[in-house]
Amino acid sequence: MPALFYHVTRSAVDEVVATLLTRALAQGWRVELRGRTGPAMDWLDEKLWLGPEEGFLPHGRAGGPHDDLQPALLTTARAAGDFAALMTLEGAEVSAAEVAARERVWILFDGRDPAAVQGARAQWKALTAAGAPAQYWSEEGGRWEKKAES
């Protein structure tokens, strides 16, 4: 499966995370949610606890006693364990080997942040140069549309 780059421009990042996480958990996948900073993971943790109105998104923060039991684990470093899916935020690193080993990899970046856009471009170049397939998805037209594929 390709790495899926999601250029978030209309929705809030936490809403996109919640939508994708809901779908992944419905597939029975364990999901690693990887960010770069503790404060961003704290913010996401709080948003996920508030969850969608129609459900609860079970998850935990890395470093707890039951990391291996969490359906979704929020972390700032590569998590140990068997995760079918990986979602990254804040330009957190992902390798071509991780893309190849996972059922799904999402790379979310905030299109309103020029540094995030530049970082995503650099990630795209690095991953595709390493042989990982990638798709670029944009919501600028109001719906998610695939704009590019390598």
pLDDT of 81? 86
Residue 26 and residue 47: Cα distance in Å, rounded?
Answer: 19
pLDDT of 52? 62
pLDDT of 56? 74
Q: Domains along the chain? A: 3-149 (3.40.50.10110)
pTM of the model: 0.93
Contact between residue 103 and residue 84 where contact means Cβ atoms under 8 Å apart: yes
**pLDDT of 16-68, one tens digit each?**
999 999 999 999 999 999 999 999 999 999 888 876 666 678 899 999 888 99
Nearest 5°: phi and psi at 107? -120, 105
Q: Which of 46-50, 85-89, 131-135 has the weakest average pLDDT?
A: 46-50
Residue 19 and residue 147: Cα distance in Å, rounded?
Answer: 20
